[in-house]
A and B are shown apart, each in its own frame.
Chain A
Amino acid sequence: MFYLGSQSLLFGHTDSGAGGFTSGLSHPVGGLDHILAMVAVGLWGAQLGSPLLWGLPIAFPLMMAFGAALGLMGYLVPGVEIGIALSGVALGLMVLLEAKPPRWAAILIVGVFAIFHGHAHGTELPAGQSGVLYSIGFVISTGLLHAAGIGIGTVHRWKQGKLFLRFAGALVMGGGIYFLIRALG
């Protein structure tokens, strides 16, 4: 982490920026709307169990990277802020209801919302940063948020834990509704 975070590194190849890792690392945790959705992915994965326990945290960063790629290359995705807010509502609702849709549907839900989160990150990339280091920080941070959700989700094995997770889902959904009202306002 120290190595990656050092801003004084010189790079061997052609990236123009010298920094970026800490920007990438901090970006996904810079907004509560992002945090809620990413932790909810981990919580939902914990409720769904294997293989979606690890399938969702694989799908989300990949689709988020796809969304970020669209943002970096200048492609517009309509309603990004609304999509991000809706992701909190939908994922929170899934956790609250302990929904168990077919695998493809769960991956589709997570993947579609990940595009909105990724697009927001891709278009907000600060100038003069190293793309590779930013990407590394960005993906690690997202993965760690999922891992935190999965870690919290391990309480699912206990009866009270299941209730706690559903309560957490309600909180995420409430946060999503708040951000949705703000995005629409």
Chain B
Amino acid sequence: MNSGVGPFYDGVAHFFITPEDILIVFCLALFGGLSGKQASRGLVLVLPLAWFIGSAVGRFSDFPALPVFLSGLGILVTGILVATAPAVPTWLPGTLAGVLGFLHGLMNGNALTQSSTLFLAAVGIVSSLVVVALITCAVTATLTQNWQRITARVLGSWGAAIGLLSLAWSLRPEGP
């Protein structure tokens, strides 16, 4: 993605025009928020770090391109976790964010191979996702009314449905 205003903004633009990336960050942040403030703090710290490392690995190593269906699968799993809102240990949202953030970072690293200044582009991506994750986690973690938490869970079920459709889309016989 060439925004025309420099590599940092290339990264920002890349994040905001990639719905899979926004969706996974949003679903993970909902999951973290519903799991409590401590889980949210861990998630907000781990997610950008894992994403950045994944971007670097994807760009500078010979790591093979990941299958497209992983993105839909990640959204599906996270969406189901949000919709069902199970009682989970506080480390789980952060760990899941680490794994999925790394995978999406890898995909970003592969997609950004044209960028000569990957570092700034990756910083742009990570900065953008931090903003989305922070706001979503902060809002979700402070929800106290039952209907508010249910609304978050309904959004999670929508995420799961989108993830399932994306997964099927990438696995269909004609290919993605």
Q: Do A and B bind each other?
A: yes
List CB contacts (< 8 Å) of A40-78 with chain B. 54, 57-58, 61-62, 64-66, 68-70, 72-74
B14 touches A131 (CB 8 A): no
Which residue on B lies nearest to A3, using beta carbons?
A: B16
Q: Which single member of A3, A57, A132 contacts B166 (CB below 8 Å)?
A: A132
B91-117 vs A, Cβ < 8 Å mask (1 yes, 0 no): 000000000000000011001000000
Given A54-B150, A58-B83, A58-B154, do A65 and B162 touch, yes or no (CB 8 Å)? yes
Bound CA–CA A61/B163 (angstroms): 12
The interface residues of chain B, by DSSP majority, are classed as helix
Residues of A within 8 A of B73 (CB): none
Asked if residues A12 and B18 are in contact (CB atoms below 8 Å), the reply is yes
Within 8 A of B (CB), among A85-139: 122, 130-136, 138-139
User: Which residues from chain B contact A131 at a C-beta distance below 8 Å?
Assistant: 165-166, 169-170, 176
Decide: A11 near B166, CB < 8 A? Known: A16-B176, A58-B153: no
- B17–A66 CB distance below 8 A: no
With A9-B17, A15-B176, A54-B154 as known contacts, state yes or no: A62 contacts B169, CB within 8 Å. no
Contacting pair A62 B161 (CB below 8 A) = yes
- Contact present for A138 and B165 (CB under 8 Å): yes
Q: Quick one: CB contact mask for B152-176 with A, threshold 8 Å, 1 for yes?
A: 0110011011101111111111001
**CB-contact partner of B172 in A10, A58, A65, A73, under 8 A:** A73
Question: B45 within 8 Å of A by Cβ?
Answer: no
Task: Kindly state the separation between the CA atoms of A65 and B68 in the bound complex, as whole angstroms.
Answer: 18
Contact B172 A12 (CB under 8 A): no
Q: Known contacts A65-B161, A73-B172, A132-B162; decide if A12 and B154 are in contact (CB<8 Å).
A: no
Closest Cβ–Cβ distance, residue A40 to chain B (whole Å): 18
Select from chain B the residue with minimum beta-carbon distance to A74: B173
Q: Is B71 an interface residue (CB 8 A)?
A: yes
A13 CA to B157 CA in the complex, in Å?
24
Most chain A C-beta atoms within 10 Å of own C-beta, residue among B107, B153, B165? B165
A140 within 8 A of B: yes
- Interface flags, B64-87, vs A, CB<8A=1, else 0: 000010011000000000010000
Digit string of A8-30 for contact with B (CB within 8 Å is 1, else 0)?
Answer: 01111111100000000000000
Bound together, the chains give a CA A136 to CA B21 distance in angstroms of: 13
Question: A73 near B168 (CB under 8 angstroms)?
Answer: yes
Q: Which of B121-176 contact A (CB under 8 A)?
A: 150, 153-154, 157-158, 160-162, 164-173, 176
Cα separation A133 to B108 with both chains bound (whole Å) = 18
Interface residues of B (CB under 8 A from A): 1, 14-21, 23, 68, 71-72, 83, 107-108, 111, 150, 153-154, 157-158, 160-162, 164-173, 176
A12-B17, A70-B168 known, 10 other contacts, Cβ within 8 Å? A11-B18, A12-B15, A13-B107, A14-B176, A68-B165, A68-B168, A122-B168, A131-B170, A133-B19, A136-B19
